[in-house]
Structure 1
Amino acid sequence: MEAGTIVGLLADPARLKVVAALALDARTIEEVADATGLSLKDVALAARRLARAGLVHRDGHALALHAERFGEAARSAAAVAPPPERMSDDPAEDAVLRTFLRDGRLVSIPAQHGKRRVVLEHLVHVFEPGVRYPEREVNALLAAWHPDVAALRRYLVDEGLLTRYAGVYWRSGGYVDV
Structure 2
Amino acid sequence: MTAQVLAGLLADETRLRVFSAIVLGAATPAEIASATGATAKEVALALHRLTGGGLVADDDGRLTAATGRFKEVLRSPAGAERAVAETDTGDEGTAFLLRTFVDGDRLLGVPSRLGRRRTVLAHLAHRHFRPGERYPERAVNDILRGWSDGSGTDHVAIRRYLVELDVLDRSDSTYWLRTEAGTGS
Give the TM-score taking structure 1 as reference length.
Answer: 0.50
Higher Cα Rg, which structure: 1
